[in-house]
């Protein structure tokens, strides 16, 4: 399975749930498919964008 095939599969699985990746995420996926960024870069992008912030209330 190529990297592009893996991304296409992942997007298909997201769409099965009735969801659609954001435009920013789709653009980032295309960069990763072209080899402009690494999978680790993609993970950092997602973590930065979607990771929940820890509560400071204890």
Q: Is 3 a domain residue?
A: yes
**Domain that residue 38 falls in:** 1-53
pLDDT at 32: 87
pLDDT at 28: 86
pLDDT in tens, 41-57: 888 888 887 776 665 65
Query: If DSSP codes are grouped into helix, strand and coil, which group holds residue 7?
Result: helix
Q: Is 58 a domain residue?
A: no
pTM over 0.85: no
- Number of separate domains in the chain: 1
Alpha carbon distance 51, 6 (integer Å): 23
Q: Is 19 a domain residue?
A: yes
pLDDT in tens, 1-50: 888 898 899 999 999 999 998 898 888 889 988 889 888 888 888 888 77
Q: Is 30 a domain residue?
A: yes
Q: Name the residue among 13, 16, 11, 22 with its Cα closest to residue 45.
A: 22
């Amino acid at each position: 399975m190529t990297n592009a095939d893996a991304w296409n599969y992942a997007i298909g699985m997201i769409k099965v749930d009735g969801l659609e990746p954001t435009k920013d995420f789709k653009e980032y996926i295309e960069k990763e498919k072209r080899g402009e960024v690494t999978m680790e870069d993609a993970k950092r992008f997602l973590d930065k964008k979607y990771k929940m912030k820890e509560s400071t209330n204890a």
